[in-house]
Amino acid sequence: MQYEFRTDIGKRRSVNEDSAAVYELPGGPVLAIIADGMGGHRGGELASTTAVQSIGEQFKSIENPKAMDEKSWISWLEDVITQTNLEIFKMAEADEQYKGMGTTLDAVIIFESSCIISHTGDSRVYRVDKNELKQITRDHSFVNALLDSGEITEEEAASHPQRNWIMRAIGTEKTIELDFYSIHFEDGAYLLICTDGLSNKIENEKMKEVVMSELPLSQKTEQLIDLANDMGGEDNISVILVGPFRSEVS
């Protein structure tokens, strides 16, 4: 399985509050995680790093991944993310400088031609192929709630003053409700996971153009980061790109 990931501080921030990593199990699936921290420089960085590292370490300790089916993986994700949520919440409660910290989180278990996604916040997971770039996850944001209720239009959402207001995050409450998605990839498709430092700056068609180009995977991730910085780079920018997927051979 081919993948590349990169995180960049951007042009305006003094601290990178994003965290991203990819973990592999021998002969098993891959875990890709992206987190975008919030709650001040120290709190945001701590929350995102804690989430990614804690879940990653638990993933690496799984002894028999081949024995796990989709239901087992969803149960595993729910358990470890719930534990991580409580861990971050308690850290914030114990230290005034971390009060209110939290993080978005997309944790994706990737198989040969499919994946399972746990989603919290407004970082995003896309499936990309020659026909379209399709957003799989739904943002847990105030603006998205307004869109769903018909109170604002897509055009108004793009420039709404509260467009970065997150309605759900890891660590901000003692308990957390998680969204899960399961998707399949056709031959030649890609998986793109990113924080809003990318998705808020680049139009879908341009992201699709880069992902489906003939460039090596590493250069595609670099170009996406560069484009977001060229558009202002006001936020940290993180990207995980996986693919192209191929059908499983029986």
Whether the CB-CB separation of 103 and 48 falls below 8 Å is answered with yes
Q: What is the pTM of this model?
A: 0.94
Chosen CATH of 3-133+165-242 out of 3.60.40.10, 3.40.50.720, 2.60.40.10, 3.30.70.260:
3.60.40.10
Q: Is the pLDDT of residue 205 over 70?
A: yes
**CA pair distance 172, 44, nearest whole angstrom:** 11
- For every residue of 140-205, DSSP letters joined together read -BHHHHHHHHTSS-HHHHHT-TTTT-BS--BTSSSS---EEEEEE--TT-EEEEE-HHHHTTS-HH
Count CB atoms within 10 A of the CB of residue 65: 17
pLDDT, residue 161, reads 64
Distance of CA 139 to the CA centre of its chain: 11
Distance CA 102, CA 166 (A): 10
Going from N- to C-terminal start, the domains of the chain cover 3-133+165-242
Instruction: State the pLDDT at residue 250.
Output: 39
In the predicted model, is pLDDT for residue 147 greater than 80?
Answer: no
Secondary structure letter of residue 111 according to DSSP: -
